[in-house]
Amino acid sequence: MTDHTREPIISVLGHVDHGKTTILDYIRKSVVASREAGGITQHIGATDIPLEVIEEICEGLVKRENIKIPMRGLLFIDTPGHAAFTNLRKRGGSVADLAILVVDVNEGLKPQTEESIEILKGYKTPFVVAANKLDRVPGWQANATLKNQTPRTIDEYNKRVYNLIGELGIRGFDCDIYTNIQDFRKTIAVIPVSGKTGDGMKELLMMLIGLAQTFLKGKLTVGLNSPAKGTILEVKETKGLGTTLDAIIYDGTIRVNDEIVVASRNPVVTKVKALLRPRALDEMRDPKKQFKSVRTVYAASGVKIVAQGLDAAMPGGPVYVGGKELVDQVKREIGEVEFASDDVGVIVKADTLGSLEAMVKILDGEGIRVRRGSIGKLTKQDVIEASVVAKENRYLGVVLVFNAPVLPDARALAQDHAIPLIENKVIYSIIDEYKNWVEKQREYERLQISKCASNPAKVVILPNHIFRQSKPAIVGVEVLSGILCPGARLMGSDGKICGKVKAIQMRGESLEKAEKGDKVALSIDDMIVGKNACEEDILYTFLSNDDLGRLNPDDLTDDEKQLVREIKKMKKA
């Protein structure tokens, strides 16, 4: 035999917290979701569901309907759900044959669901809609048919399900409840389910088998002698085996003693010493499960690869059966994700290439520039890069760290240079924390400017130092008393406002303030030199009654106290 029929690869997509992992948990009877950071799946995982398990869950429905299943089972890829994971999901979508779009039937479509829909459209992937959390429909009785629910519950059910069908229709999809569909090539099936109670789960599995028969006929054949192609999920130390790879093989065959090329900054060419498969229903990332040794693994499968030289392997990168001839190809694939530039932007550190892709994607979508993106431990060099950026733009002089270790000396250096390290095990939380940090910094700056702008100050326009008359006026002044800051309103000796300080410069450099004795250039909005101010005029900061009330006499010098008295006198005049 030179070929075989592989399992269909099924990608599970949808919005955060809409229950993707819970649906799989019901099938594999595991509790992976409870161990995920924030309850959200953060990496692509793989679960192999053998045919006998599907038949067991479907309670004889396969035999009763006389359905022939020309496959060994189903391989699920459980992808993260936030819109930030577009690239990860595209990685899953690029190898997925079918998809389940999971939507909370009570919440309907969300932005992340929209993102999933765009992916499915882009790849033209056949899919079904799992309208999840049926158990939360008011009055719903688990494991009872729809006709046995109360009339009120049936109304609530119909309202939610048909609202969802309507939302999908607006987005160009012809959908209906699966029981109403005659031609599944033309209409997308919506299957109400509950990953918690199991309602609708056997129907969901049967629909996937039906789709596989409808759309994948002749497409699941894999040559037993073709070299394997796979994606590295994780690189980990395994007791007694050293560093190993968890990978998904999505094409071809891998055997013990095969030469393989493994993604790293300098791709590794090595030989397979052992192949370990998880037991049926075990999730590839689950540390509590046992593996069994095999000599050969065919697509589509999750597998643990044992070989030498895997320490520098890159999670999210490719692993191919082959030799040195593939090294340049692997380098190109890595170079499309990891990068460094001279741009002024944030530093991004992640644990896998897929996570890095996702981080850079959402940052780009938010208009946030990235200077360097890499995977692995955060080092002093990363902090030094951020400190260089901070000198030009302190809002971008930040390191964003997703699920990657921070070396102690790097953390100490960041503290010494006041470089923020924003760390989290949930990617979208990192982005939110960064945006919140920027807003707080900007608010603090606004308060400081506002506080400074309400300080008393007195300046004189220097003769022969009119550089521009208006829009904005640019003049040279000397500060006679007090502290002048950008944002301060200026008034003449008559108490009338004549402009607002836009910027302060000395020898070509911008200043946050100018103090008594400083000779500086002011850029002043709303001033026309020769009309409301002239050479040798003395100008004062305009202070409102609230500004004057906020001034603490204990914080003022004698000169400033005298200046406040002058300003009050002019305002009364």
CA dihedral 353, 357, 358, 363 (to 10 degrees): 140
499 near 528, Cβ under 8 Å? no
Query: How far does CA 499 lie from the centroid of its chain?
Result: 45
Q: Integer distance in angstroms from the first to the last C-alpha of the chain?
A: 104
Angle in degrees, CA 536, 542, 545, rounded to 5: 155
CA distance 114 to 474: 51
CA distance 412 to 416: 6
Distances (CA, A) of 206 to 62, 526, 564: 8, 73, 82
Kindly list the catalytic residues.
82
Question: How does strand 497-506 pair with strand 509-511?
Answer: antiparallel
Which residues are CB-neighbours of 199 under 8 A, at least 6 positions away?
134, 135, 142, 143, 192, 193
Distances (CA, A) of 162 to 118, 133, 191, 295: 21, 15, 12, 50
Q: What is the DSSP string of 294-311?
A: ESEEESSEEEEEEESS-T
Long-range Cβ contact pairs of 382-386 (< 8 A, separation 24 or more) = 382/347, 382/349, 382/410, 383/410, 383/413, 383/414, 383/417, 383/419, 384/413, 385/347, 386/346, 386/347, 386/414, 386/419
Distances (CA, A) of 5 to 238, 267, 432, 477, 486: 31, 31, 45, 83, 72
Per-residue tokens: 524: 């002043």
Single out the residue of 333, 306, 334, 319 nearest to residue 236, CA to CA: 306
Beta strand ranges found along 391-470 (DSSP E): 399-402, 421-424, 457-468
DSSP single-letter state for residue 350: E
354 near 88, Cβ under 8 Å? yes
CA distance 371 to 280: 44
Q: Indicate the SS3 state at residue 130.
A: strand
Distances (CA, A) of 436 to 85, 355, 363, 430, 439: 21, 21, 14, 10, 5
Cis peptide leading into residue 318 (ω within 30°): no
Q: Indicate the SS3 state at residue 107.
A: coil
The residue assigned the tokens 């008034």 is: 491
Residue 206: count other Cβ atoms within 10 Å of its Cβ: 19
The number of CA neighbours under 13 Å toward the Cβ of 465 is 16
The number of CA neighbours under 13 Å toward the Cβ of 369 is 14
